[in-house]
Amino acid sequence: MATRYWVVSLPVQKSASSLWSRLQESISKHSFDTPLYRFNIPNLRVGTLDSLLALSDDLLKSNSFIEGVSHKIRRQIEDLEKVSGILSRSLSVDGVPVDSYLTRFVWDEAKFPTMSPLREIVDGIHVQVAKIEDDLKVRVAEYNNVRSQLNAINRKQTGSLAVRELSGIVKPQDLITSEHLVTLLAVVPKYSQKDWLSSYETLTSFVVPRSSKKLHEDNEYALYTVTLFHRDADNFRSKARERETQETRKHELEKLMQDQDSLRSSLLQWCYTSYGEVFTSWMHFCAVRVFAESILRYGLPPSFLSVVLAPSVKSEKKVRSILEGMCDSSNSTFWKTDDEGGMGGFGGDADAHPYVSFTINLI
């Protein structure tokens, strides 16, 4: 599917149907690889010229915000699908692929009554999308918090038992080092001290009985010694780490993994639904934008043809030339781009042309 579309409106001189036929014929003849669709906009409430001008000032900023939220949710979906090992699927709006929703756009009168002022429609869309963005932030933060806890546990599983400088705590007389014996230090979580004292002698076969003594304790950990044969030191370390992981972290790890899976699945389903809601709002916003800018460009009563095109990069200049040819040629020079010495942009990001035009990037 195409991911970059132009939304364009052309001034109607005689009839919209004849202009549409001419455009179809010209695109088919000179740029046959460019998909072309009608972008059907209902008769919206125009309001006053002042209200349209004020609205036009806000359209670009609002569009950037809505588009940004759309892309943010899409990226989140891609990340979650990748982590979950799910094959990426085409995003949809009410079961319709997003590109089809755009190219077959139909105004939803129930959600966006056409008799509402344009400002009310735009503000309502902005508020709805802002709420979805806030919900996304909360849900992602909750999910990332669980992921961080899991990562911290995994780091501890592969790290050393020693977590701080011990030279000020351990005295020489606390340690035994001889030809056959060695004293190791164990940092034990406070809540696991009973488990340590009841199990350290049996972790391996060469531990000196009753050799473990507590040297220090803080709010989280206790420091113990344990004496054993040199040859068994590495084995004891391995067994101690393994037991700590299995016994003191097992339930916490299992719960966090369950929480992570649950949150990831819930977040992914929420993103699928919310992306559809944001995309629906975005396309209705684009319709309002085309309508408002067309009135300001062509005047009243509303008389314009709005279309959606998806030209390839190599076809862009040809398509621009075709679109310009559909406009009043005497006005074309006035709307040349800055590089060509003309007036410059209209409506912020809209390229300077003798017709209304702006770009929709789906990704």
pLDDT one-digit tens code per residue, 141-175: 999 998 888 887 666 554 434 445 676 788 888 89
- Per the CB < 8 A criterion, the answer to whether 6 and 310 are in contact is yes
pLDDT band at residue 351 using 50, 70 and 90 as cut-offs? low
- Report pLDDT for 250: 67
- Per the CB < 8 A criterion, the answer to whether 77 and 91 are in contact is yes
- Report pLDDT for 169: 84
Q: How far apart are CA 200 and CA 240, in angstroms?
A: 8
Q: How far apart are CA 63 and CA 70, in angstroms?
A: 11
pLDDT band at residue 213 using 50, 70 and 90 as cut-offs? very high
- Report pLDDT for 49: 86
Q: Per the structure block, which two tokens stand in for 139?
A: 């849900």
Residue 116: CB atoms within 10 Å:
13
pLDDT band at residue 288 using 50, 70 and 90 as cut-offs? very high
pLDDT band at residue 252 using 50, 70 and 90 as cut-offs? confident
Per-residue pLDDT averaged across 181-195, rounded? 87
Is 90 exceeded by the pLDDT of residue 355?
yes
| 105: DSSP letter | -
Angle at CA of residue 6, ends 102 and 63, nearest 5°? 75
180-189, 203-212, 332-341: least confidently modelled range? 332-341
